[in-house]
Amino acid sequence: MILATIEQAHRYADCHRGLSRGFDFLQSTNLLELADGKHELDGQRLFAIVAHDQGRSRAGALLEVHRKYIDIQYVVSGEEAIGWQPLASCQMVKQAYDSQTDLAFFLDRPQSWFALAAGSFAVFFPEDAHAPLAGEGPVHKIVLKIAVD
């Protein structure tokens, strides 16, 4: 997992070939003008999901994991709260991995929680279980999905 502000993104751009393109998109696009929904940037290799959401609280946020995609979760406005735990520590499966949705859910409680303010991002790799939307208020966010391979 990586946690930083968009101004620090250059430090992490070389961690995976898709991160640089994702960070470029976040820094060169008027994010306030993007409509909610899916925006393909490179077909299924790189796409953005724009959403205006309401936090579910810590109690309502489930740990999730992906195998095919790395997530960059970026906050445009509001504040996001997210839980984190290594996938290797997750033991209570709520929903087994589904290759069609690239998603599995766990009932384990995150080992740590953090807040993402506007202009901040978190990167989650396949070994990172994460519980997004764990805050209480509205958040405008973009989730960039970057193909692992």
Domains, the chain: 2-147 (2.60.120.370)
pLDDT at 129: 98
Confidence (pLDDT) at 81 = 97
Residue 75 · residue 120 · CB < 8 Å: yes
pLDDT in tens, 4-59: 999 999 999 999 989 999 999 999 999 999 999 999 999 999 999 999 999 999 99
- Residue 17 confidence (pLDDT): 87
pLDDT at 86: 98
Residue 125: half-sphere exposure toward Cβ, Cα within 13 Å: 12
Please give the pLDDT value at position 135: 94
Would you list the DSSP string of the chain? -EEEEGGGGGGTGGGSHHHHHHHHHHHHS-GGGPPSEEEEEETBTEEEEEEEEE--HHHHPPEEE-SSEEEEEEEEEEEEEEEEEEGGG---EEEEEETTTTEEEE-SPPSEEEEEETTEEEEE-TTEEEE---SSSEEEEEEEEEE--
Kindly report, residue by residue over 79-122, the tens digit of the pLDDT: 999 999 999 999 999 999 999 999 999 999 999 999 999 999 99
Residue 117's nearest CA partner among 83, 84, 145, 76 is 76
* Whole-prediction pTM: 0.95
β-strand partners of 146: 46, 70
pLDDT (average), residues 60-83:
97
Residues β-bridged to residue 108: none
